[in-house]
Each structure stands twice: as C-alpha cells, then as structure tokens.
Amino acid sequence: MRPVPSGTTVTRRFEPTARDTAAAVGNVGVDVVATVALILRIEATCGELMAPWLATGEASVGIRVVVDHTGPAVAGRPVRVHACVTGVDGRKVKFAVRLEQDGREVMTGEHVRAVVDLERFLRSDAGSGGAAAKPSADARVNASTVSPPGPPVTFFFDVHSPWSYLASTLIGPLAGRHGASIVWRPIHLANLMERIGGMRPLEQSRARVAWYEQDIVDRMAHHGLPYEPHPDYPLRPSRALRACVYAAERGCADAFVRVVMRGYWFENKDISDVAVLQELADAVGLGPRPLTEIVVDPDYKLAVAANTDDAIASGVFGVPSFLFDGKLYFGSDRMDLLDAALRGWTG
C-alpha cells in the first residue's frame, strides 16, 4: 500500500430505489432510505477512494462505522456521498463522511478501513490475522460518539492559474486539520471571465502587471513552492481539466491535480499533450481508463462546463475560489479566513 495523503477526497452520487428503503428490509410503512443502505454506500465510496493506492493482491475492508443518521432520504432522488481521509495509522485509513440529498445532510460520521492481503484474508483461518482481518468486530452505529464534520469545502480551480497551483498544495492539509471533505471542481477560467466580463490581471496597467508578476514570485517563495512558468504559457487547459474531473471521480484529485500543477508551473510539462497527462496519471495511480479516452469523452467536457456554470451561479469571479457553509472565499491569500471558518464551524 502506498500512503494515502490526508485530505484526499472523493464525492460519489447514487440514486436510491425502493429496494433501499427501510420498508423493503422489514420496517413496514417507513418509505425512506434505510440506514444500512447509506452505510453500504459509505463503504463503497471509501473503498473506491483507496483503490488507486493499493498494491497488487491487496484489498481494503471496513472495520469501523460510527455515524449519525441525521435526516431522511427518499428513493428516486440522488444522494451525494462525500468522503475525506483524515488520518492514516499503518494499514488503517480513517475517513470523515457526509451524505446529502437536495443539499440537505442525511448522514455524517466516521469510517475506518484496513488494508489486507486478499488471498490470506479469504482463507478460512483469516480470523486469526488480527484486527485488520476482522472487519465486523468493531463495526457499529452510534448516535453520539462522533462530532459531525462541517459541510464540504468546494474548491473551484483552473490549472491555468498559478494561484490555483498554490492553493492546490494548501487545501488538502487545511481541510484535513478540520476533518472537512473537499469537492474538487475544475472550471474553465477563460470561459468564466468572458461570460461575466471579469478582470484579467495581465491586461491591467503596466505598473500593476509588474507588481502582479512579482507578487506571484514572492508568494511562491514564501510558501517554499518551486515556480518557473512554462515557456509557452499559456497552454490550452481543456484536456487537463477533463482529466481532473476524472481524477475527482476516482478519488485521486488531490494527488493528480498537484502533479499536473507542478508539471505545468515548474517542470515545463506540456499539459495539453495527452501523453504527458497520462504520464502524470500513471505517477499517482490514476486509472483504469486511459486519458486518451477521457479527454475526448463528451461527458467530461460537459462536466467542466457544468462546473463553470455552477461557479458563476455561486458568485465566483476568479480562481482559486472556495465555498464553505454558503460563503465564498476568493484567493489563496484568503485561505486563512477559510481556515478560521472551518475551525469555528458549529453547525
């Protein structure tokens, strides 16, 4: 198992059916989604997040579930499952989880998974292998053990932005300190700016442009971040953005976005080249689909456009931007305010 970075997040969507209701499992007349059905989705989502980090022959198994079922969910409407890695202890990985339907929380809590050697685990004597081989021993539902995490942090970014490069290195540790999940939303900044008539820093006065360019260098140095813009800047970001959507789906956004950003803003990598993107994807275990498929898949093109639409609807006017608990935070230099908001969140 390769170490799973704290702050790694994934969001998955599923649409419960009548088979998922409490009534379907014997609680007559209670036509809302059963607790156990939601827990199964938590397991599936967290297991999927861990998959890219596992070695050949390994699997992850759930060993602990502690949740509050805070509101009813109904069949026929999508439920979103947010999971964020909050800690790694050897071969055990802890997640903060939160489920929402129609923007309303329905479940929140904690899940722990352990990495096992699958062949050994499946043998009849697997129960003698210790805690990691006994996934059900500590599994329980408890309405008071865990303090619910806050709402997820939505991170709007474009690989085309050096400030997004900086923010992409900071948001994971920041959210991880508070057990918050991250929703990674790549957007097409140029399209957003065109639609809202936004300010383009490099089209301002000569004095302001000179200050702006020096400020970027100073900020990167302040954070110890290597910075050497690509000699052919600007490169077309569309393919990289679509790949970032796929990475978010696969629970690999944190790692993939950071290697793409570093490649573009320091290593002079051509992020418009699919072969280069595939090399970066391979470096962080992003798969199984090749990026040659992803970058031409209309669903991922539409996903970037939808993210951009949602950003505009949310009042975003530039990147990086963060939404938390209904409030917009703009710029890597405002992340201290986001940090304070997460620290002070009380629900």
Active site residues: 35, 43, 69
Q: ∠ CA 219-221-225 to the nearest 5 degrees?
A: 95
Distance CA 286, CA 290 (A): 9
Q: Which two tokens stand for residue 86?
A: 């909050």
R_g (Cα) of the chain, nearest Å: 21
**CA gap 318, 122 in Å, rounded:** 51
* C-alpha dihedral, 13 to 54 to 273 to 311, nearest 10°: 30
- 10 Å Cβ neighbour count for 150? 23
Q: Rounded to whole angstroms, what are the CA distances from 197 to 200, 239, 312, 318?
A: 9, 24, 11, 11
d(CA 104, CA 276): 40
> Strands 327-330 and 79-89: what pairing?
unpaired
d(CA 87, CA 173): 11
For residues 208 and 201, what is the distance between their CA atoms, to the nearest angstrom? 8
Cβ distance 66 to 145 under 8 Å? yes
Could you give the C-alpha distances from 238 to 280, 309, 311, 315, in angstroms and in order?
16, 15, 17, 22
Where does the chain show beta strands of DSSP type E? 9-14, 58-68, 79-89, 92-101, 104-117, 153-157, 182-186, 321-324, 327-330
